[in-house]
Amino acid sequence: MQTIDDAARALAAGTTTSTQLVEEALSRVLDPSGEGGRAFVAVQAEAARAAAGAMDSLRRANRAPSPYAGIPISIKDLFDQAGVTTTAGSIARKDATPANTTATAIARLERAGFVVLGRTNMVEFAFSGTGLNPHYDTPRSPYDRATGRVPGGSSSGAAVAVADGMGFGAIGSDTGGSCRVPAALCGITGYKPTASRVPLTGAFPLSTTLDSIGPLAPSVACCATLDAVMAGAEDATPPVAAPLEGLRLGLPSATYLFDGLAQPVIAAFDIALRRLEAAGAKLIDVALPEIAEIPAANATGGFAAAESWALHRELIGRARDRYDPLILARIERGASMTAADFITLMAERARIIAAIAPRTAHFDAIIAPTCPLTPPAIAELAAADDFNRINMLLLRNTAVGNFLDRCSISLPCQAEDEAPVGLMLTGEHGGDTRLLAVARAVEGVLRAK
């Protein structure tokens, strides 16, 4: 996987063009022997070629809008594009009116010159961490394609597109782990910013309380650049890696974040910790007892069930038979939540956030496995009970960052040719730039030979 910086340097040096980069990416997307047919629900080849030609012309005239002008990326199927119907991974919205305007985050990327290749597959309405989609098929994790393993979700196609070189990054959303889980299960990097950092305007919602928009990409620097552009930063240059010596990483090993880990996860994560310590980082046990209180706070359904039910109840009334039954059941759980339940949930969230904040304030990041599992076989999720059990496990660790409204990132930490394992770093609310600097330092250790 080449990085965004690799592409930007090649474009600046004149050793490649946007047209070449786009054609190379499209060749992978459209390869009938590859995963493009499952990773994308819509390939916008002609529009991408036209945009690439325009960026090449602007670059020749020294008028490129940014160093990244002409670099191809993809966007999740829940982002509005002017003139395009946003189906959000569902067939229930196929007849919806096309969007009038493009989502703010995507429009900012396009103004910087990034070229959108098309719309990537996703879990229907983003309501699962597995990556399964019965309407558009399920893209396979790059690990053990012969078996056919889940890519993680809900930004499933985004992760597979990046892993298979179909562009230099992908834009997803993360409500309970939907950028980080597929990144972990596909062996790439996925970033969830503080929720308010990137505008949600034009992104089809799952939970307006928890939703955030984030990138999936080959590296931390790629994620930092895409995040900065979407956040409206004047300078999209990635932050410099933090010094490793003395870096304070909090290890909440007494929480459920470390319960029931699969053996490959334990092995890869332990090796990563030893390498970080050898490089000078300090791993310090941190007590976060309030994490154990989050499941009880969510017991009546949580924000996603309540807020998705409010959004979907009218459409369900008209097109119930078009919904994936597994997703429909999750949405309809919100029907039984009362106003009092929701008010109590908001109060509990505020209390837990306030209690944990001083416990983590003195750390550079909190470190834990992204997911307790490596990619399960798609066949393992055939029964509803198995789907629900595995889905909850995949989202268990990542959902904590959304509940606490923190920035969080998943980095691949497995050895080459082993099952993908994600290492998750979680920062403070609003501490995005610092977390990305820390993540660059950690990434350097994990990638060192």
- Per-residue pLDDT reduced to its tens digit, 320-363: 999 999 999 999 999 999 999 999 999 999 999 999 999 999 99
27 is catalytic: no
Residue 96, in any domain of the structure: yes
- Between CA 344 and CA 354 the distance in angstroms is 15
Q: Looking at the 3D structure of the chain, how many domains does it have?
A: 1
The residue-averaged pLDDT of 38-60 equals: 98
Residue 258 lies in a domain: no
Q: Please state, as a whole number, how many other Cβ atoms lie within 10 Å of the Cβ of residue 293.
A: 14
Which one of 18, 128, 173, 178 is the catalytic residue?
178
Cα dihedral across residues 281, 286, 291, 292: positive or negative: positive
How many degrees, rounded to 5, is the angle at CA 272 between CA 278 and CA 159? Answer: 145
CA distance linking residue 411 with residue 365, whole number of Å: 13
* Residue 76 known to be catalytic: yes
Q: Provide the domain limits for residue 169.
A: 4-230
The verdict on whether 178 is a catalytic residue reads yes
The set of residues, in sequence order, having a beta carbon less than 8 Å from that of 228 and lying 6+ positions away, is 235, 236, 237, 238
- Give the mean model confidence (pLDDT) for residues 290-319: 98
Does residue 86 sit within a domain? yes
- Residue the block writes with tokens 């592409």: 7
Does residue 74 sit within a domain?
Answer: yes
For residue 104, tell me if it sits in a domain: yes
Share of the chain above pLDDT 90, in %: 99
Residue 447 located in a structural domain: no
Q: What are phi and psi of 44, to 5 degrees?
A: -105, 60
Q: Are strands 115-120 and 72-76 parallel, antiparallel or unpaired?
A: parallel
Whether residue 138 is contained in a domain is answered as: yes
- Whether 449 has a pLDDT exceeding 80, the answer reads no
Q: Which of 90, 128, 154, 173 is catalytic?
A: 154
Residue of 76, 155, 408, 410 with catalytic role: 76
Residues in the chain: 449
pLDDT tens track for 107-158: 999 999 999 999 999 999 999 999 999 999 999 999 999 999 999 999 999 9
pLDDT in the model for residue 81: 98
CATH number at residue 126: 3.90.1300.10
